[in-house]
Structures are given as structure tokens and as C-alpha cells.
Chains A and B, each alone.
Chain A
């Protein structure tokens, strides 16, 4: 199963359409979490989908999937890294009205080349990446789950701040 997630804030038609088109030609089940759709938003025909899902179902889908496809949001990226699932990310573009600024572009650029993260810079990159990743075990053999904690430096800086303040 492929788990598509675009966050909860706004629809992301460009990504949903690209994945739905790919799904129409492949026998791979896809589940999409599409956010709050507008009247004219794209509604996929070749996948199971919901606008919002509870946190427990999100965990379930994340565990069950072999591949995640998402916007370049940190929630999706951190979730995939901690669950050791490969992820394809497509940045939302402010230029296309998909977000309020271009920070997802910056995020995507920062994560290019990180093991398990595949960056699609445009929606045309989605189908080739899905072809390449959907069928195979595509994580490097030495892929390790991201720990559930922030870096030790950051934790100790915040710890020091709390102690100094109290």
C-alpha cells in the first residue's frame, strides 16, 4: 500500500492528481489523506481517500505502507524517517497558490540525497519515482530508524534553559 498525505491545512491537487493518474494504471492500492477539499478540488477516482484521519489511523497507515508520498512538510518527513519508510516529497509552491511561502522548496532542497527521501521537484517527477519505488524494497540495507528524540545538543540547551529559569 502507498500512503499519500498532504497535511491538513489545504488541498494539494497537483500531487493528488499525479498519484491518482499513476494509480489508474497500476494494481497497487493507495490510501490518500487529502486535507480539507474545496468545491473545485480534484477528487481522486483510483484510490481510497479521506480529507482528515485521526492520529491513530495515520499511525496505522504509516505502519502498513511500503512507501509514503507527501508534500514537503516536516510532519510527513519526520513520520517517514522514524517509521523507516521511503518517502517521495513534492514541495508545495507559493507561486502556484499551494502555500503561503516557498519554505517547502527550501525543505525539499535540504533533504535531497538523504537516504530514503526522494524529492520530486515537479509533479512530472512523481510517476517515474513511483514506477521506480512502488514495487521494490528500496531502502538501503543499513537504513536505520530516526530516533524519537531531538539531537543531544538541542535537548541539553533546552534543559539548561529550563533549569536556569526555575
Chain B
């Protein structure tokens, strides 16, 4: 493909987001879209891109939800689907949690290649969203070698 690949880097805010931002050097040379559940980090991602000489990335804000907030989760799922239809990413990279799950499931249906990087917080077992989303991702990673297994996630290093 002569054109730059479109990459969507997506996660909830907090620890998932901090881990996602540490992947920025892998996004050189792509058309980059970030999506998260807070409007607070636009300046931050623009600074990171500028420091690496990357063009200014797009920034999309999604509804925040946890697994007990059914209505918000449904709204979030719809927002993720609409975002994917608008952006049409070639590649989706996520560190979780529910927004990442929706992005992997819908992304696959829409023909994107998807990567689930399970949070480094999950040192003893995979996250719930990771266990559910991982099997649907093209590239499923854990950050702890002892959790890697054939047919499951593989280990390729940590965000630290």
C-alpha cells in the first residue's frame, strides 16, 4: 500500500491509556487516530507526536463506562462502531478495556487487523476483557511471559 496505513490506538483512560501512549514510537509513518474516554489528553498526544516528528494525530472522545453501567456500555459500543465506520482504520491497537473489546470485535467485522495488548497490571491472569477480546484479535499479547501459551496470548516484551 503506497498510502500511509491508518492506525487507531484506543483505550480507556487511566493505566490503560498511559500504557498505550508508551507505544507511540511504533506509530511513526502512519496516519494516527487516538480514541479514549476523556477529553483531557489532546494536548498530551499532540506533544508526544510533535516530539517524534509525527504529524498531528486525530483525537476522538468516547463515553466512559464500567461493566456495571449497562446503558453507558451500550452507548460506548455504538460510539466505537460509528468511530470505526468513520475512520476505517487498517490497524487497531488497544490496551483495553471495554472500548478496546468493542474495537476488536467491530474492527474485525470491518476488515481491520487488530492487536490486543493486555495490561501489565494483569500479572497473574489475563484481564476479563482481554480473555474475551483476545481470541478475536489478530495479534494477542500479554506482558508477562508466564501467561503466554499456544493458542493464547504471546509475549513480546513490556511497556516498561
Contacts and interface: CB of A to CB of B under 8 A. Distances in A.
Contacts of B76: none
Interface string B95-136: 000000000000000000101010111111101100000000
A136 interface: no
A107 B143 CA distance: 12
A150 B66 contact: no
Contacts, number: 125
A138 interface: no
B59 interface: no
A81 B19 CA distance: 13
Interface residues of A, number: 41
A31 B122 CA distance: 28
Contacts of A76: 15
Interface stretch (A16-24, A42-50, A125-133, A156-164): A156-164
A110 interface: yes
Given A78-B15, A78-B160, A154-B158, A162 B120 contact: no
A74 B119 contact: yes
Given A103-B124, A165-B90, A155 B5 contact: no
15 contacts: A8-B13, A9-B14, A55-B40, A78-B159, A104-B121, A107-B120, A148-B22, A149-B24, A150-B158, A150-B160, A151-B159, A154-B141, A154-B158, A157-B157, A158-B26
Given A106-B122, A107-B120, 10 more contacts: A9-B66, A54-B40, A55-B44, A102-B124, A106-B121, A106-B125, A151-B158, A156-B26, A157-B157, A163-B5
